[in-house]
Structure 1
Amino acid sequence: MSLNHSPETHKNLIARIPKVTGRDLPEWFQAIDDGPSFIRCEERVNWLADEHGLSHGYAVALVHEHELHRRAARY
């Protein structure tokens, strides 16, 4: 999944998620892990936006950050 925004914007979105949503990143990562088993990242983005009322930008940032953490955990 490629970013639709700059790395700086991604960093800023991720930093604001706890304040905007009231949930920390580990809680969101758990929601993604416990949610439907979508293959495509875009499906996860749409699910987060629809199910949890997130804007598309925050949903994209969360899914991308989740993927980064999953990949880092493999190594």
Structure 2
Amino acid sequence: MSLNHSPETQTKLIARVSSITGRDLPEWFQTIDNGPSFLRCEERAKWLADEHGISHGYAAAIVKEHERRRRA
């Protein structure tokens, strides 16, 4: 699984997270922060998808956005 969506795809996925998953980004970010301490983004995305039943594409987009905002 890759976390490297095109910028356009990333933007579209993030815009639909709430309607597709039923949870807003801040809720997902809190879930990531409270989850296991994985070192790699790919591990966090796999855990998020497997543990919370969302697609790997959305999980990867959420993790990527979480990392982007943490670095800002």
Question: What TM-score bracket applies, with the shorter chain setting the length?
Answer: over 0.9
Which consecutive residues of structure 1, in runs of 5 or more, have no partner in the other structure? Answer: none
**Alpha-carbon distance between aligned partners in 2 of 1:66 and 1:53, rounded to the nearest angstrom:** 18
User: Deviation at 1:5?
Assistant: 1.9
For residue 42 of structure 2, what is the amino acid of its counterpart?
E
For residue 17 of structure 1, what is the amino acid of its counterpart?
V
**Alpha-carbon distance between aligned partners in 1 of 2:38 and 2:13, rounded to the nearest angstrom:** 23
Backbone CA RMSD of aligned residues? 1.1
Query: 1:6 — aligned with what?
Result: 6
User: SS state of the match for residue 5, structure 2?
Assistant: coil
Q: Considering only CA atoms, is the larger Rg found in Structure 1 or Structure 2?
A: 1
Superposition misfits of 4+ residues, deviation over 3 angstroms: none
User: SS state of the match for residue 5, structure 1?
Assistant: coil
Query: 1:26 — aligned with what?
Result: 26
User: Deviation at 1:40?
Assistant: 0.6
Calculate percent identity across the aligned residue pairs: 75
* Residue 63 in structure 1 maps to residue 60 in structure 2: no
Q: TM-score, normalised by structure 1?
A: 0.90
Residue deviations 1:46-73, cap 9 Å, x none?
100100011111011000000011001x
User: Deviation at 1:3?
Assistant: 4.2
Q: TM-score, normalised by structure 2?
A: 0.93
